[in-house]
Amino acid sequence: MEPKKNPKADVGRSSGLYFVIGLAVTMGLVYTALEWKTYDKTNDYDISMNVDDDLDEEVPMTEQIKTPPPPPPPAAPEIIEVVEDEEEVEETVIESTETSQEEEIIEVEDVLVEEEVEDVDVPFAVIEDVPIFPGCESESDKRACFQKMMQKHIGKNFRYPEIAQEMGVQGRVSVMFTIQKDGSIGNVRMRGPDKNLEKEAARIIAKLPKMTPGKQRGRAVRVPFSIPITFKLQ
Protein backbone atom coordinates (compact mmCIF):
# COMPACT_ATOMS: atom_id res chain seq x y z
CA MET A 1 0.00 0.00 0.00
CA GLU A 2 1.50 3.35 -1.06
CA PRO A 3 1.76 6.16 1.45
CA LYS A 4 -0.42 9.18 0.92
CA LYS A 5 2.15 11.69 2.23
CA ASN A 6 4.50 13.52 -0.11
CA PRO A 7 8.04 12.40 0.43
CA LYS A 8 9.33 16.01 0.08
CA ALA A 9 7.14 17.04 2.94
CA ASP A 10 8.85 14.62 5.29
CA VAL A 11 10.60 16.73 7.91
CA GLY A 12 12.51 13.93 9.47
CA ARG A 13 14.68 13.18 6.55
CA SER A 14 16.96 16.27 7.13
CA SER A 15 16.89 16.23 10.94
CA GLY A 16 20.41 14.84 11.12
CA LEU A 17 21.77 17.72 9.10
CA TYR A 18 19.95 20.29 11.16
CA PHE A 19 21.18 18.67 14.35
CA VAL A 20 24.78 18.89 13.18
CA ILE A 21 24.37 22.56 12.15
CA GLY A 22 22.73 23.50 15.47
CA LEU A 23 25.39 21.72 17.40
CA ALA A 24 28.14 23.55 15.53
CA VAL A 25 26.49 26.94 16.09
CA THR A 26 26.00 26.20 19.76
CA MET A 27 29.62 25.20 20.22
CA GLY A 28 30.74 28.31 18.39
CA LEU A 29 28.68 30.53 20.68
CA VAL A 30 29.95 28.75 23.77
CA TYR A 31 33.56 29.11 22.62
CA THR A 32 33.08 32.75 21.77
CA ALA A 33 31.52 33.38 25.18
CA LEU A 34 34.40 31.69 26.96
CA GLU A 35 37.10 33.47 25.00
CA TRP A 36 35.47 36.91 25.09
CA LYS A 37 37.54 39.46 27.10
CA THR A 38 36.48 42.88 28.35
CA TYR A 39 38.77 45.80 29.42
CA ASP A 40 38.08 48.82 31.68
CA LYS A 41 38.03 52.08 29.88
CA THR A 42 40.94 54.29 31.03
CA ASN A 43 41.72 57.88 30.23
CA ASP A 44 45.16 58.99 29.33
CA TYR A 45 44.83 62.14 31.44
CA ASP A 46 43.39 63.16 34.80
CA ILE A 47 40.21 65.12 34.23
CA SER A 48 40.39 66.45 37.79
CA MET A 49 43.32 68.60 36.76
CA ASN A 50 41.52 69.93 33.73
CA VAL A 51 40.27 73.14 35.36
CA ASP A 52 39.37 76.11 33.31
CA ASP A 53 41.40 79.14 34.40
CA ASP A 54 39.11 82.14 34.26
CA LEU A 55 41.73 84.51 35.66
CA ASP A 56 43.25 86.78 33.13
CA GLU A 57 45.86 88.09 35.62
CA GLU A 58 49.35 87.09 34.81
CA VAL A 59 51.23 85.53 37.69
CA PRO A 60 54.65 87.15 38.00
CA MET A 61 57.59 84.90 38.05
CA THR A 62 59.31 84.45 41.37
CA GLU A 63 62.35 86.60 41.59
CA GLN A 64 65.54 84.81 42.16
CA ILE A 65 66.91 85.40 45.67
CA LYS A 66 70.25 87.00 45.35
CA THR A 67 72.87 85.77 47.76
CA PRO A 68 74.70 88.69 49.41
CA PRO A 69 78.33 88.91 48.46
CA PRO A 70 80.82 87.65 51.02
CA PRO A 71 82.28 90.28 53.40
CA PRO A 72 85.51 91.86 52.28
CA PRO A 73 88.65 90.41 53.81
CA PRO A 74 89.99 92.26 56.86
CA ALA A 75 92.40 95.01 56.17
CA ALA A 76 96.00 94.20 56.67
CA PRO A 77 97.37 95.57 59.96
CA GLU A 78 99.39 98.70 59.73
CA ILE A 79 103.05 98.22 59.91
CA ILE A 80 104.31 99.93 63.02
CA GLU A 81 107.65 101.47 62.46
CA VAL A 82 109.84 101.38 65.51
CA VAL A 83 111.62 104.67 65.97
CA GLU A 84 114.48 104.94 68.37
CA ASP A 85 113.73 107.32 71.22
CA GLU A 86 116.58 109.73 71.56
CA GLU A 87 115.19 111.34 74.72
CA GLU A 88 116.31 109.88 77.98
CA VAL A 89 113.53 108.62 80.22
CA GLU A 90 113.98 109.10 83.92
CA GLU A 91 113.60 105.92 85.83
CA THR A 92 111.06 105.89 88.65
CA VAL A 93 112.75 105.24 91.91
CA ILE A 94 110.62 103.32 94.40
CA GLU A 95 111.64 104.16 97.89
CA SER A 96 111.63 101.45 100.48
CA THR A 97 108.91 101.61 103.13
CA GLU A 98 111.00 99.77 105.66
CA THR A 99 112.11 101.78 108.65
CA SER A 100 115.69 102.09 109.67
CA GLN A 101 117.03 102.06 113.17
CA GLU A 102 117.66 105.80 113.06
CA GLU A 103 113.97 106.64 112.48
CA GLU A 104 111.80 107.33 115.49
CA ILE A 105 108.84 105.00 115.90
CA ILE A 106 105.69 106.66 117.26
CA GLU A 107 103.63 104.49 119.55
CA VAL A 108 99.91 104.15 119.01
CA GLU A 109 99.15 105.74 122.36
CA ASP A 110 100.89 108.95 121.27
CA VAL A 111 98.60 109.42 118.24
CA LEU A 112 95.64 111.68 118.94
CA VAL A 113 92.40 110.46 117.37
CA GLU A 114 89.77 113.14 117.05
CA GLU A 115 86.37 111.95 118.17
CA GLU A 116 83.76 112.27 115.46
CA VAL A 117 81.02 114.62 116.60
CA GLU A 118 77.50 113.43 115.82
CA ASP A 119 74.91 116.14 115.28
CA VAL A 120 72.05 114.63 117.32
CA ASP A 121 69.15 115.92 119.39
CA VAL A 122 69.28 115.17 123.11
CA PRO A 123 65.93 115.40 124.96
CA PHE A 124 65.65 117.82 127.88
CA ALA A 125 64.91 115.00 130.34
CA VAL A 126 68.20 113.12 129.74
CA ILE A 127 70.71 115.79 128.76
CA GLU A 128 73.73 116.15 131.04
CA ASP A 129 73.84 119.99 131.13
CA VAL A 130 70.39 121.48 130.54
CA PRO A 131 69.98 124.77 128.68
CA ILE A 132 70.17 127.73 131.08
CA PHE A 133 67.26 130.14 131.08
CA PRO A 134 68.38 133.74 131.68
CA GLY A 135 68.30 134.30 135.43
CA CYS A 136 69.07 130.66 136.33
CA GLU A 137 72.87 130.90 136.07
CA SER A 138 73.41 130.89 139.84
CA GLU A 139 70.79 128.27 140.66
CA SER A 140 71.96 124.84 141.76
CA ASP A 141 68.99 122.99 140.17
CA LYS A 142 69.01 124.54 136.74
CA ARG A 143 66.54 122.01 135.37
CA ALA A 144 63.82 123.01 137.87
CA CYS A 145 64.70 126.68 137.41
CA PHE A 146 64.31 126.35 133.63
CA GLN A 147 60.79 124.93 133.93
CA LYS A 148 59.85 127.55 136.55
CA MET A 149 61.02 130.40 134.31
CA MET A 150 59.13 128.89 131.33
CA GLN A 151 55.86 128.93 133.32
CA LYS A 152 56.59 132.50 134.44
CA HIS A 153 57.24 133.58 130.83
CA ILE A 154 53.98 132.03 129.60
CA GLY A 155 51.95 133.64 132.40
CA LYS A 156 53.51 137.04 131.75
CA ASN A 157 52.89 137.04 127.98
CA PHE A 158 49.61 135.08 127.96
CA ARG A 159 46.68 136.78 126.21
CA TYR A 160 43.42 134.98 125.38
CA PRO A 161 42.41 135.58 121.72
CA GLU A 162 39.19 137.65 121.58
CA ILE A 163 37.77 135.72 118.64
CA ALA A 164 38.28 132.45 120.55
CA GLN A 165 36.46 133.94 123.55
CA GLU A 166 33.53 135.03 121.38
CA MET A 167 33.31 131.54 119.83
CA GLY A 168 33.70 129.87 123.23
CA VAL A 169 36.78 127.93 122.13
CA GLN A 170 39.04 126.56 124.83
CA GLY A 171 41.48 123.70 125.27
CA ARG A 172 45.13 122.74 125.54
CA VAL A 173 47.78 123.54 122.93
CA SER A 174 50.87 121.30 122.91
CA VAL A 175 53.92 123.36 122.00
CA MET A 176 57.18 121.76 120.81
CA PHE A 177 60.35 123.64 119.99
CA THR A 178 64.12 123.09 119.89
CA ILE A 179 66.80 125.04 121.71
CA GLN A 180 69.54 125.24 119.08
CA LYS A 181 73.29 124.86 119.68
CA ASP A 182 73.63 128.67 119.75
CA GLY A 183 70.82 129.07 122.33
CA SER A 184 68.18 130.36 119.89
CA ILE A 185 64.66 128.91 119.57
CA GLY A 186 63.73 127.04 116.38
CA ASN A 187 61.59 124.30 114.86
CA VAL A 188 58.45 125.52 116.67
CA ARG A 189 55.38 123.28 116.26
CA MET A 190 51.88 123.49 117.77
CA ARG A 191 48.93 121.16 118.02
CA GLY A 192 45.65 122.34 119.50
CA PRO A 193 41.87 122.47 119.10
CA ASP A 194 41.78 125.82 117.27
CA LYS A 195 44.03 127.78 114.92
CA ASN A 196 43.59 130.98 116.92
CA LEU A 197 44.83 129.26 120.07
CA GLU A 198 47.80 127.80 118.19
CA LYS A 199 48.65 131.24 116.82
CA GLU A 200 48.68 132.73 120.33
CA ALA A 201 50.91 129.92 121.61
CA ALA A 202 53.38 130.54 118.76
CA ARG A 203 53.46 134.26 119.67
CA ILE A 204 54.32 133.43 123.29
CA ILE A 205 57.15 131.05 122.31
CA ALA A 206 58.54 133.60 119.85
CA LYS A 207 59.12 135.99 122.80
CA LEU A 208 61.46 133.54 124.58
CA PRO A 209 64.91 135.01 125.22
CA LYS A 210 68.14 133.52 123.93
CA MET A 211 69.48 130.87 126.30
CA THR A 212 72.74 129.19 127.13
CA PRO A 213 72.69 126.00 124.97
CA GLY A 214 72.55 122.56 126.53
CA LYS A 215 75.65 120.39 126.51
CA GLN A 216 76.25 116.66 126.20
CA ARG A 217 79.78 115.43 127.00
CA GLY A 218 80.96 119.00 127.04
CA ARG A 219 79.65 119.82 123.53
CA ALA A 220 76.70 122.01 122.64
CA VAL A 221 73.77 120.05 121.21
CA ARG A 222 70.20 120.68 120.14
CA VAL A 223 67.64 120.14 122.91
CA PRO A 224 63.98 119.47 122.02
CA PHE A 225 61.50 120.73 124.62
CA SER A 226 57.69 120.54 124.86
CA ILE A 227 55.22 122.29 127.15
CA PRO A 228 51.40 122.55 127.19
CA ILE A 229 49.60 125.90 127.22
CA THR A 230 46.05 125.69 128.54
CA PHE A 231 43.36 128.11 127.37
CA LYS A 232 40.34 128.06 129.71
CA LEU A 233 37.40 130.43 129.79
CA GLN A 234 36.35 131.80 133.20
Residue 98 in domain: no
* Cβ proximity of 145 and 136 under 8 Å: yes
- Classify residue 57: in a domain, yes or no: no
Look at residue 173 and tell me if it is in a domain.
yes
For the residues 45-67, what does the mean pLDDT come to?
Answer: 52
Per the model's pLDDT, the better-predicted residue between 162 and 60 turns out to be: 162
* Total count of domains within the chain: 1
The mean pLDDT of the chain is: 77
| pTM beyond 0.75, yes or no | no
Checking if the pLDDT of 172 tops 90, the result is: yes
**DSSP letter assigned to residue 115:** P
Percent of the chain past pLDDT 70, that is, above it, reads 62
Is residue 201 included in any domain, yes or no?
A: yes
pLDDT tens readout for residues 81-138: 655 655 565 665 555 566 555 656 555 555 555 555 567 889 999 999 999 999 999 9
Instruction: Look up residue 24 and give its amino acid.
Output: A
The sign of the torsion formed by the CA atoms of 126, 207, 158, 201 equals negative
pLDDT tens, residue by residue, 29-52:
888 888 777 666 555 544 444 445
Is 91 a member of any domain?
Answer: no
Higher-scoring residue by pLDDT: 201, 38: 201
**53 within a domain of the structure (yes/no):** no
Q: Identify the pLDDT of residue 70.
A: 77
In this prediction, residue 206 carries a pLDDT of: 93
Residue 154: give its domain's CATH number: 3.30.1150.10
In 3D space, the residue among 230, 72, 69, 91 whose CA is nearest the CA of residue 164 turns out to be: 230
The answer to whether residue 158 sits within a structural domain is yes
Angle CA 234–165–171, to nearest 5: 70
Q: How many CA atoms lie within 13 A of 134 on its CB side?
A: 7
Q: In this structure, is residue 88 part of a structural domain? A: no
User: Does residue 149 contact residue 135 with C-beta atoms inside 8 Å?
Assistant: yes
Residue-number span of the structural domain to which 150 is assigned: 142-231
